[in-house]
């Protein structure tokens, strides 16, 4: 009998037509971003063009303002997406390790080549290369595990006690404040208005430091969720969490120096990114608490680790990233606060 074509799993919702975006006039209310969910879902779609070969259209690639190339989280999650499409549904992703090799060009399609390294009874391993112009821009190794009982071996770090997301300012609200700040240069205010005019894929709300926190400690807590509602397919939420895991992983290293905006690097790029999926019991469009901590910065490199909890307190995800940060001038750390006199 002739070989039957493989039935491909469809895990992405239908595309929506992209709408034009008008730059807001300074001082007017920001428009409601009703199409943001569709923009994110387009960002993670792939087209199968050959056996284990997938294409991400240049029309769906996102390059942040001022960035050297395509947003790294998009390439990360598309590699994961391509790998998921080649494994049995009985296996769930548990780890991902990748390296950024070249900046992605947002004007060219990205081709993802999947290599089936191993298919075992309990584990499946995939190698995924993202290519442009025949060169690898990102390479990754991804492993899947057929779920099995832990027989009571359950350990997890508890969620830190921080304020919930309700009532906290979003990153877009902070950007709007900066865009309206007349103390900033016209060029900087224009940059912030342009950033606001672009639909965001996710919303972030930074938890302000608490009274008992060390203001110079290299740790940040951020509530994050996808804008809009996603479908109920588990894989969509895994892919979207992978996308969001690349948000602000290196910036907490600058807290001892007054913050990232006060001491911006002349150049910053991600070097590698690793992820561990502990659970599938979450939704990426519900609030998730990200705890990001820089553990070391030296030799122009920053290493940060991140843990993610649901609002119910379940640790569902961990990741790590190392990045390159180059400065033209020597950074000067802030002075520690003086101890109160007794």
Residues forming the active site? 246, 270, 321
225 to 61, 96, 101, 245, 285: CA distances (angstroms): 20, 21, 28, 11, 5
Helix (H, G, I), strand (E, B) or coil at 101: coil
Closest alpha carbon to 270 in 100, 77, 73, 91: 100
Name the burial class of residue 36, with classes exposed (0-12), middle (13-18) and buried (19+) by CB atoms within 10 angstroms of its CB. Answer: middle
Contact 286, 203 (CB under 8 A): no
Contact 104, 156 (CB under 8 A): no
Name residue, tokens 């002075």: 335
281 to 87, 316, 319, 326: CA distances (angstroms): 20, 7, 17, 39
Which H or E run contains 288? strand 288-298
């Amino acid at each position: 009998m002739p070989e039957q074509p493989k039935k491909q799993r469809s895990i992405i919702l239908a595309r929506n037509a992209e709408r034009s975006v008008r730059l807001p006039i300074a001082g007017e209310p920001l428009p409601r971003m009703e199409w943001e969910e569709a923009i994110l879902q387009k960002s993670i779609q792939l087209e199968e063009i050959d056996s284990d070969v997938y294409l991400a259209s240049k029309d769906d690639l996102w390059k942040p303002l001022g960035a050297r190339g395509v947003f790294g989280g998009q390439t990360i999650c598309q590699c994961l997406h391509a790998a998921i499409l080649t494994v049995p549904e009985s296996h769930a992703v548990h780890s991902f390790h990748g390296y950024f090799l070249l900046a992605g060009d947002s004007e060219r399609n990205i081709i993802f080549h999947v290599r089936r390294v191993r298919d075992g009874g309990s584990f499946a391993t995939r190698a995924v290369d993202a290519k442009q112009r025949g060169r690898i821009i990102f390479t990754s190794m991804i492993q899947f595990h057929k779920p099995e009982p832990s027989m009571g071996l359950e350990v997890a770090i508890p969620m830190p006690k921080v304020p919930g997301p309700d009532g906290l300012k979003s990153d877009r609200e902070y950007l709007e404040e900066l865009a309206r700040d007349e103390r900033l240069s016209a060029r900087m205010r224009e940059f912030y208005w342009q950033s606001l005019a672009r639909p965001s894929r996710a919303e972030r709300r930074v938890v302000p430091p608490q009274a008992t926190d060390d203001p110079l400690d290299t740790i940040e807590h951020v509530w994050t969720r996808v804008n809009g509602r996603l479908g109920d397919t588990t894989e969509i939420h895994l892919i979207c969490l992978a996308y969001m895991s690349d948000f602000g992983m290196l910036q907490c290293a600058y807290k001892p120096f007054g913050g990232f905006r006060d001491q911006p690097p002349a150049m910053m790029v991600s070097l590698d990114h690793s992820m561990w999926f502990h659970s599938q019991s979450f939704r990426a469009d519900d609030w998730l608490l990200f705890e990001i901590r820089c553990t070391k910065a030296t030799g122009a490199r920053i290493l940060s680790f991140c843990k993610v909890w649901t609002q119910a307190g379940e640790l569902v995800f961990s990741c790590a990233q190392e990045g390159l940060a180059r400065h033209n001038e020597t950074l000067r750390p802030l002075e520690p606060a003086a101890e109160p006199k007794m």
